[in-house]
Chains A and B, each alone.
Chain A
Amino acid sequence: MGRKLIIDPVTRIEGHGKVTIQLDDDNNVIDAKLLVVEFRGFEKFIQGHPYWEAPMLLQRICGICFVSHHLCGAKALDDMVGVGYSTHNLITPTAEKMRRLGHYAQQLQSHATAYFYCIVPEMMLGMDAAPEKRNVLGLVAADPELIKRVVMLRKWGQELIQAVLGKKMHGISSIPGGVNNNLTAEVRDRFIKGDATIPSIDQMLEYSMEGLQLFYDFHEKNRAMVDSFGDAPALDMCLVDDNGDVDYYHGKMRIVDNDKKVVRELDYHDYLDHFSEATEEWSYMKFPFLKELGREKGSVRVGPLARVNVTKSYSTPLAQAALEKFHAYNKGKCSNKALHTNWARAIEILHSAELIKVLLRDPDLQKDQLLVTPTEAMWTGEGVGVVEAPRGTLLHHYRANKEGNITFANLVVATTQNNQVMNRTVRSVAEAYLGGQAEITEGMMNAIEVGIRAFDPCLSCATHALGEMPLEVTLLDAKGNQIDERRK
């Protein structure tokens, strides 16, 4: 009975989400869809550009996780010129650690933005709070001291990104075969000790712990709701090291089922052998899935919840304690609960801060071996790069001809990986909050937003801070006729 809805492509994913819900004659939900309009022009217009421009150009896909795109592109180019993980010639320790430092800094600031600006308003003020209060400005009124710390947490991450990449947004550090800069001792000390403009790394750890405590308090008061909201079963995937622990910069792609049994573990260079993508006429965004399992069973979840589900442990003590608590609460199984993503995100803020603290004390960051210059004979002409972006596993795949001209680019972004599970979440929330209802209330509409927002699929980041996430909910009767619509 569906009804086809078309939205012209606007941007990659930021900005507009659309949900359609179809009810039967008894007002039960029989279908619910999330449409994220995504026009992937970048894959086309990068063709013809010189290969070394890719990490610079393609990071402009996103104004939030640009470091991830930058690093993904750089890793792909390492492969292409012959010094990547597909070869036996690796970049220098200083180069890899500089890349990791920028990566962790971005995860810190990106997660802090999503968590505090987009998610905490509901946690502190309630899902049914008035929209004009249920936003970051409402938080300012409710807890100004918290907001000061939040702003500083984000600023600290941005400052560290600038120290590594030269700019707070869309800078450049990674080049084929390494990086173009190291971290001076003076700059390092600024972040370790803090100065008049930014706090110390230890204060960042303190703020991160407070962020996690916010979730614990919210969970304590709303246990039933948090543990039942938006249940969406899926496989979980992330990059892991040789111990099976998450590695945000490099590793194998591990996919586990709900019992944490490893379903697949693959070298990401072989992703095309394992993954396929389904399309729907109602969405520009594809639905990746494991070929052998098919779309229904083989769709994966990526991002914070997937990572804490997959990883066995962390190397840092505070995050490890938080992870153990998470694993124990879920009785050793993977969590499929949408709001547990926010728990996972708070854990990862802490983990990022701890990883940064460890890395800042690594003397390799001050060394001068920045670049491995490959010979022409090492040229492979093809490269795949994968990192764990804040929103999940991100993949860039390029080919170039011997003249240096990019001839092919394929990007699989985290929000795309999550497409199926986001739709499942929308369906789950719709059934719980809309089933039997004929009228859409503001609270119902926001519940759907909360479910989507847990995935932080960029569209929420862009506007939720002002309570203006552009979301459209259409309610159809059993015959597909529109009976109500809310737009904001």
Chain B
Amino acid sequence: MMIQLKIDGKNINARAGTPLMDVALENGVYIPALCYVKGQPCLGTCRVCSVKVGGVVAAACTVPVVHGMEVEVNEPEVTDMRKALVESLFAEGTHNCPSCEKSGRCDLQAVGYEVGMMVSRFEYRFTPRQRDYASEKILLERDRCIFCQRCVDFVRDEETGQKIFSISGRGANSRIEINAELANKMTSEQVTRAVNLCPVGTIVEKGVGFNEPIGKRKFEIKSVRERALAGDHK
């Protein structure tokens, strides 16, 4: 059923129940996101897509559109809130973009540019977390993980459907884990998909780094906004 809603004052027709995130993008309104993957069940973990729906803050990826909905995306308070969320992710982990192999291909870095982040308003924690070298093909850089859970939910053992990645601990003690036995069974294509799915540089293919020259990397060719609006979700 087609319904009508407003995004930043603009009248929009959409199919009822479609995620607000998709409706916004299809109508030329970019909303930053880190955990959302189009076509996959929403995770709602990063909250970077926060907007105001009827004056209340909500994550756009978790909201199905309904008739008469009034959405504010580029409203000052919620815009700053999204920026603060991104800043908090940078402060919480250890993100040395200049020397990270994901630089130029990193969603967090790209969204950081997009929201205009210059420096985090929060104190950097530099939480020490170990790297996990146990898998033969994948290095897990734990201090870069933003706990989006993309890998946890969308990367599974092809034979059994078991999860390969998981999160242990709670709150500030959370850490990403990898089942090395299952990870060792991953095909090289599956490893590449997992690396690309990770919005930061946590899942790294062993022995591969910096192969793409500066200037030719994903987000240097086309910004995260341009990609999202063009429907390019690779």
Q: Given the known A-B contacts A57-B99, A170-B98, are A50 and B214 also in contact in the complex, defined by CB atoms under 8 Å?
A: no
Is A451's beta carbon under 8 Å from chain B? no
Nearest CB in chain B to that of A405: its residue: B133
Nearest CB in chain B to that of A180: its residue: B213
Compute how far the CA of A339 lies from the CA of B101 in the bound complex, rounded to whole angstroms.
Answer: 43
Is B160's beta carbon under 8 Å from chain A? no
Stretch touching chain B among A171-179, A235-243, A258-266, A297-305:
A171-179
Measured between C-beta atoms, what is the minimum distance from B211 to chain A in Å? 5
A148-182 contact mask (Cβ, 8 Å, vs B): 1 or 0: 00000000000000000111001111011000110
Chain A 45-65 residues near chain B, CB threshold 8 A: 48-50, 52-53, 56-57, 60
Task: Write out the residue numbers on chain B whose beta carbons fall within 8 Å of the beta carbon of A176.
Answer: 207
Task: Write out the residue numbers on chain A whose beta carbons fall within 8 Å of the beta carbon of B206.
Answer: 50, 403-404
Q: Which of A48, A170, A403: most chain B CB closer than 10 A?
A: A403
A292-315 contact mask (Cβ, 8 Å, vs B): 1 or 0: 000000000000000000000000
> Is there an interface contact between A172 and B208, defined as CB atoms closer than 8 Å?
no
Nearest CB in chain A to that of B132: its residue: A403
> Is there an interface contact between B214 and A166, defined as CB atoms closer than 8 Å?
yes
Nearest CB in chain A to that of B216: its residue: A181
Chain A interface mostly: loop
Question: What interface size band does chain A fall in?
Answer: 20 to 34
Task: Write out the residue numbers on chain A whose beta carbons fall within 8 Å of the beta carbon of B214.
Answer: 165-167, 171-172
Compute how far the CA of A367 lies from the CA of B98 in the bound complex, rounded to whole angstroms.
Answer: 28
B192-234 contact mask (Cβ, 8 Å, vs A): 1 or 0: 0000000000001011111111111000000000000000000
From B131, B204, B211, give the contact of A48 (CB < 8 A).
B131
Compute how far the CA of A57 lies from the CA of B99 in the bound complex, rounded to whole angstroms.
Answer: 6
> Is there an interface contact between A166 and B215, defined as CB atoms closer than 8 Å?
yes
Nearest CB in chain B to that of A164: its residue: B213
From B101, B133, B211, B213, give the contact of A404 (CB < 8 A).
B133
Measured between C-beta atoms, what is the minimum distance from B126 to chain A in Å? 12
Compute how far the CA of A175 lies from the CA of B133 in the bound complex, rounded to whole angstroms.
Answer: 20
> Is there an interface contact between B131 and A405, defined as CB atoms closer than 8 Å?
yes
Nearest CB in chain A to that of B220: its residue: A166
Measured between C-beta atoms, what is the minimum distance from A38 to chain B in Å? 21
Compute how far the CA of A176 lies from the CA of B204 in the bound complex, rounded to whole angstroms.
Answer: 16
> Is there an interface contact between B133 and A403, defined as CB atoms closer than 8 Å?
yes
Compute how far the CA of A50 lies from the CA of B134 in the bound complex, rounded to whole angstroms.
Answer: 13
Nearest CB in chain A to that of B136: its residue: A403
Task: Write out the residue numbers on chain B whose beta carbons fall within 8 Å of the beta carbon of A405.
Answer: 131, 133
Q: Given the known A-B contacts A50-B204, A170-B98, A404-B139, are A56 and B210 also in contact in the complex, defined by CB atoms under 8 Å?
A: yes
Task: Write out the residue numbers on chain A whose beta carbons fall within 8 Å of the beta carbon of B216.
Answer: 181
> Is there an interface contact between A52 and B133, defined as CB atoms closer than 8 Å?
no
Task: Write out the residue numbers on chain B whose beta carbons fall within 8 Å of the beta carbon of A49.
Answer: 131
Chain B 44-83 residues near chain A, CB threshold 8 A: none
Q: Which of A49, A167, A172, A404: most chain B CB closer than 10 A?
A: A172
A384-418 contact mask (Cβ, 8 Å, vs B): 1 or 0: 00000000000000000001110000000000000
> Is there an interface contact between A60 and B209, defined as CB atoms closer than 8 Å?
no
> Is there an interface contact between B99 and A53, defined as CB atoms closer than 8 Å?
yes
> Is there an interface contact between B213 and A181, defined as CB atoms closer than 8 Å?
yes
Question: What interface size band does chain B fall in?
Answer: 10 to 19
Task: Write out the residue numbers on chain A whose beta carbons fall within 8 Å of the beta carbon of B215.
Answer: 166
Task: Write out the residue numbers on chain B whose beta carbons fall within 8 Å of the beta carbon of A172.
Answer: 210, 213-214
Compute how far the CA of A173 lies from the CA of B98 in the bound complex, rounded to whole angstroms.
Answer: 14
Compute how far the CA of A127 lies from the CA of B212 in the bound complex, rounded to whole angstroms.
Answer: 49
Q: Given the known A-B contacts A48-B131, A166-B214, A172-B214, are A56 and B99 also in contact in the complex, defined by CB atoms under 8 Å?
A: yes
> Is there an interface contact between A52 and B209, defined as CB atoms closer than 8 Å?
yes
Compute how far the CA of A49 lies from the CA of B204 in the bound complex, rounded to whole angstroms.
Answer: 12
Compute how far the CA of A175 lies from the CA of B212 in the bound complex, rounded to whole angstroms.
Answer: 10
Measured between C-beta atoms, what is the minimum distance from A187 to chain B in Å? 11
> Is there an interface contact between B98 and A60, defined as CB atoms closer than 8 Å?
yes
Measured between C-beta atoms, what is the minimum distance from A167 to chain B in Å? 6
Task: Write out the residue numbers on chain A whose beta carbons fall within 8 Å of the beta carbon of B204.
Answer: 50
Task: Write out the residue numbers on chain A whose beta carbons fall within 8 Å of the beta carbon of B212.
Answer: 180
Measured between C-beta atoms, what is the minimum distance from B188 to chain A in Å? 13
Task: Write out the residue numbers on chain B whose beta carbons fall within 8 Å of the beta carbon of A60.
Answer: 98-99
Task: Write out the residue numbers on chain B whose beta carbons fall within 8 Å of the beta carbon of A166.
Answer: 213-215
From A165, A171, A181, A404, give the contact of B207 (CB < 8 A).
A404
Measured between C-beta atoms, what is the minimum distance from A211 to chain B in Å? 30
Compute how far the CA of A181 lies from the CA of B217 in the bound complex, rounded to whole angstroms.
Answer: 12
Compute how far the CA of A175 lies from the CA of B213 in the bound complex, rounded to whole angstroms.
Answer: 10
Nearest CB in chain A to that of B208: its residue: A52
> Is there an interface contact between A50 and B211, defined as CB atoms closer than 8 Å?
no
> Is there an interface contact between B133 and A180, defined as CB atoms closer than 8 Å?
no
Task: Write out the residue numbers on chain A whose beta carbons fall within 8 Å of the beta carbon of B99.
Answer: 53, 56-57, 60
Compute how far the CA of A81 lies from the CA of B207 in the bound complex, rounded to whole angstroms.
Answer: 9
Nearest CB in chain B to that of A173: its residue: B213
Compute how far the CA of A170 lies from the CA of B103 in the bound complex, rounded to whole angstroms.
Answer: 13
> Is there an interface contact between A180 and B211, defined as CB atoms closer than 8 Å?
yes
Chain A 5-58 residues near chain B, CB threshold 8 A: 48-50, 52-53, 56-57
Task: Write out the residue numbers on chain A whose beta carbons fall within 8 Å of the beta carbon of B207.
Answer: 52, 81, 176, 404
Nearest CB in chain B to that of A49: its residue: B131
Which B residues fall within an 8 A CB radius of A? 98-99, 101, 131, 133-134, 139, 204, 206-216
Query: What are the nearest 10 A-B pairs in CB distance?
Result: A166-B214, A403-B133, A181-B213, A52-B209, A180-B213, A57-B99, A172-B210, A56-B99, A404-B206, A175-B210
14 A–B contacts from the bound complex (CB under 8 Å): A50-B204, A52-B207, A52-B208, A52-B210, A56-B210, A60-B99, A165-B214, A167-B214, A172-B213, A173-B213, A175-B210, A181-B213, A404-B133, A404-B139
Other than the given A175-B211, A176-B207, 7 more pairs (CB < 8 A) read A49-B131, A56-B99, A56-B209, A57-B99, A60-B99, A171-B214, A404-B207
